Each structure stands twice: as C-alpha cells, then as structure tokens.
Amino acid sequence: MKWGQALLDLLFPVCCPGCGAMTDAEHPWCEACVRQFWNPRMIQSAHSRDLEGCYTCCQYTAGIRDCIIQLKYYGKRNLKRCFPMLLARFPWWERLASYPIAVPVPLSRRRRESRGYNQCDLIFQDFMKNLGKTYEAELLVRLRDTKVQSTLDREERRKNIRDAFHINRGRRIEGQCILLLDDVYTTGSTMEEAARELKRAGAAAVMGLTLASGAP
C-alpha cells in the first residue's frame, strides 16, 4: 500500500458499508459481509431474442442491497468506492472480452436532473475504462419518464418500458458487440427493452451485466 493511502486511511478510516467494521480503501467490504451477498452467475431467465444473457455479481440482499438503495435514492455518491472491489472479483471477465463497448441503461432526463447522476456511471464507468472498454454513457437515451419499475408486476413492467429507449442521434453501432450495464436485474424487462433497441440499431450482439439481482 502506498504511504499516502495509508495516511489517509489513518486520518479518515474506511468502514465496511455493510457492518461498519474497519476496512481499507482498496477492500472496503469485510469478508463476512461479502459472503452474505456474493453470488456471481449467469441469470437463468435472462436469455431472449435480443439479449444473449445477463451476468450478475451479487444477490440483491443484505449490505449490497442497502448500498445500492442509498446510492440511487439518497444521494450517497461516496458509496461509489464500494463497487470496484466487487467488480474485480467477478470471475468471468474473459467471457466478456469480445464485448468492447460498455453501455449503461440510461435514466430519463427528469430523473437524471433530479438525482444529479446515473448510478450506473458511478458503479461501472471508471472500472470499465480501466478494463480497456469503451464506455458510451450517452449512446442510449430514455425517451420518456417511465413509472418506477419496482412498483409494478412483470407484465406491467414490460408495458411500462416498451419503446422507452432510442439510440442517440448520429451514433452508429452496426456490427458492434455491446456489454449492457445496469445496477439491478429484477424481471429483466428494462434490460431486454434496451437490448431490443440496440439490436434494432444494428448491434451484432448484446450481453448484460448487473451488479446485483434477486433472480435465480
């Protein structure tokens, strides 16, 4: 560890976001908390006509669930430090090497302005750039302000998100393989609709990756 970081850790101690135990900047989660939610897998229900599948790193429970909620709804931007450690542990990056372009699922303009950021950017952007992927934060746009998906059942989610996304004006993705990113995969309606628009615009393949999911 560099002396500068060691001094910062001494002056401003890092605590595990799950339990509050003393940790460090490079490994903010304690192992006991990680064991509660760590569950990397290919989501069984994720494959569709437009989506090759979707990997996830964690079960949407315990400390990681609380961390995502605090980031999304309570403005806790400082929690972005909690995610690189988990993404680095994802065991199948070599399977995603053929997807060089990383695209986050976008927020509506109103929600982006209200929140001040897209939580996907805080979770993924720096890490993806460090992997050598091209991070296209503005490739997809959300055309309208949909209802919050978590309040809807599966069929309502599908109808709510239909035709909500569009490729940004002037962007070309014909023949490209896209890694589509979101914070949480629930029923997959949002990711499938975003993948449908990417394929309509000419993407050769779309693979999903989320930080967490409650789906098997």
C-beta of residue 216 within 8 angstroms of C-beta of residue 45: yes
- State pLDDT tens for residues 67-122: 999 999 999 999 999 999 999 999 999 999 999 999 999 998 898 999 999 999 99
Q: What confidence tens digit (pLDDT) does each residue in 35-50 have? A: 999 999 999 999 999 9
pLDDT in tens, 157-184: 677 778 889 999 889 999 999 999 999 9
**How do residues 45-65 score in pLDDT, each as one tens digit?**
999 999 999 999 999 999 999
CATH 3.40.30 for the 39-213 domain, yes or no: no
**Cβ(165)–Cβ(193) below 8 Å:** yes
What's the chain's average pLDDT?
A: 91
In the chain, domain spans = 39-213
Name residue, tokens 């909620």. Answer: 69
For the chain, the maximum distance between any two Cα atoms, rounded to a whole number of angstroms, is 54
Residue 37 exposed, middle or buried by CB count within 10 Å (0-12, 13-18, 19+)? buried
Sign of CA dihedral 165, 167, 173, 179: negative
